[in-house]
Structure 1
Amino acid sequence: MRLLWSVAAVTLVFDQLTKWWVVHVMGLAGKGQIDVWPPFIQFRMAWNYGINFGLFSGQQDTTRWVLIAVATGIVLFVLVWLRRDPPGRLGMVAAGLLIGGAVGNVIDRLLYGAVADFLNMSCCGIDNPYAFNVADIAIFAGAIGLVLFPGAEAPKKAP
């Protein structure tokens, strides 16, 4: 479990540092957009009050607390699941990514009332209107990792 907590802590710190840097130091909230590597990568400020792609963002205050509760519930579920059926090292890394990312987005909702999304990728004449953040990447990678590297298989009994 030490590996899980180490990965979760590094993920959380990296996520919060990138958000702090982009929002407060670079002033993206006021600028709206900064070209990083046009046309592929831009920093585009988007306060996400809902879930992915801003879904369910109508009742902001209610949605905020529901999503905090859901994220906390998912983290607790993953921890119980890992206690009952511990995966190998890659599974623990994946779980750490998922937990660190989820907690990072919960912190945003507590501090700002919304998740600070700022990474935007577009290419080849396609203008992607959506933004994401380091926590989103970690959550996605962690979920995929938990699917690919599940708990260790129980030893088979000889007949």
Structure 2
Amino acid sequence: MQAARGTSLSDADETQTKASTTVRRPVVRAIFVAVAVVLLAIDQVTKVAAVAGLTPGRPHQLVGSLLRLNLTRNPGAAFSTGTSHTAVFTALAIAAAIVTVWFAFRAGSRAWAVALGFLFAGVVGNLVDRVARAPRAFHGFVVDFLELPHWPIFNVADICITVAAVLILVLAYRGVRLSGLPVDPRPDAEDEQ
């Protein structure tokens, strides 16, 4: 059975799916931008509040012994590694932000838009600190202020990066393509391409 002369039904379905993905892209991009902007704003507002209201070395209990506010400035990466390489982390964060936007604007999946929005907000949230905070531009220290027992102090941007990593792993495990196009379940589909 043919959908049109010379076109199989599966080709017609794929063409229709690609067309709907193209129509969906503006919505997916809007989701990416909205998630990124809202989370980045939350990160920056909480950092400004932490700097204004907390004194380094004087923690405040927030949720019993589970969560406390403890202001610190981190020149390094996760777990305070590489503290003498702040400029390198700044360059890597700029590259990561660019790559994230590149992927986000090619995404055809709402789930990928959310995951990449989280990633962008986290990367740029810490990048803003590295670019704009003391001691000097592109060598700034990241403001961290959330502390759990037996865990390094972190911030909202770090939470965003962690959530993004989990979402990306789940999407990859479930076989959700960045494009939003369905994975062809037929075992011989690879041979036809």
Q: TM-score, structure 1 length as denominator?
A: 0.82
Specify the SS of the correspondent of 2:70: strand
Q: What one-letter code is carried by the residue in structure 2 that aligns with 1:74?
A: A
- In structure 2, C-alpha distance between the alignment counterparts of 1:8 and 1:20, rounded to whole Å: 18
Q: Output one character per residue of 1:6-57: Cα deviation in whole Å (capped at 9) or x when no partner.
A: 1100011000000111111x1x134531111221110112211100010010
| 1:7 lines up with 2:35 in the alignment | yes
Distance change (3 Å), C-alpha of 1:87 and 1:141? farther
| 1:67 lines up with 2:89 in the alignment | yes
- How many residues align? The count is 147
User: Could you tell me which residue of structure 2 aligns to residue 146 of structure 1?
Assistant: 168
1:90 to 85, 89, 111: 111
Alignment of 1:11-50 (within 5 A): 11-24=39-52, 26=53, 28-30=54-56, 32-50=58-76
Q: Is the Cα contact below 8 Å between 1:42 and 1:119 reproduced in 2? A: yes
Q: What one-letter code is carried by the residue in structure 2 that aligns with 1:119?
A: L
- In structure 2, C-alpha distance between the alignment counterparts of 1:136 and 1:129, rounded to whole Å: 13
Q: Output one character per residue of 1:56-77: Cα deviation in whole Å (capped at 9) or x when no partner.
A: 10x2xxx222111101111222
- In structure 1, C-alpha distance between the alignment counterparts of 2:61 and 2:143, rounded to whole Å: 17
Which protein is bigger by CA-based radius of gyration? Answer: 2
- In structure 1, C-alpha distance between the alignment counterparts of 2:131 and 2:68, rounded to whole Å: 26
Q: Is the Cα contact below 8 Å between 1:95 and 1:143 reproduced in 2? A: no
Q: What one-letter code is carried by the residue in structure 2 that aligns with 1:78?
A: T
Q: TM-score, structure 2 length as denominator?
A: 0.69
Shift of 1:155: 5.7
User: Could you tell me which residue of structure 2 aligns to residue 104 of structure 1?
Assistant: 125
Alignment of 1:103-122 (within 5 A): 103-112=124-133, 113-122=140-149
Q: What one-letter code is carried by the residue in structure 1 that aligns with 2:72?
A: A
Distance change (3 Å), C-alpha of 1:30 and 1:74? closer
User: Could you tell me which residue of structure 2 aligns to residue 81 of structure 1?
Assistant: 103
Q: Which runs of 5+ in 2 are unaligned?
A: 1-28, 134-139
Distance change (3 Å), C-alpha of 1:139 and 1:87? farther
Percent identity, please.
28
Q: What one-letter code is carried by the residue in structure 1 that aligns with 2:93?
A: A
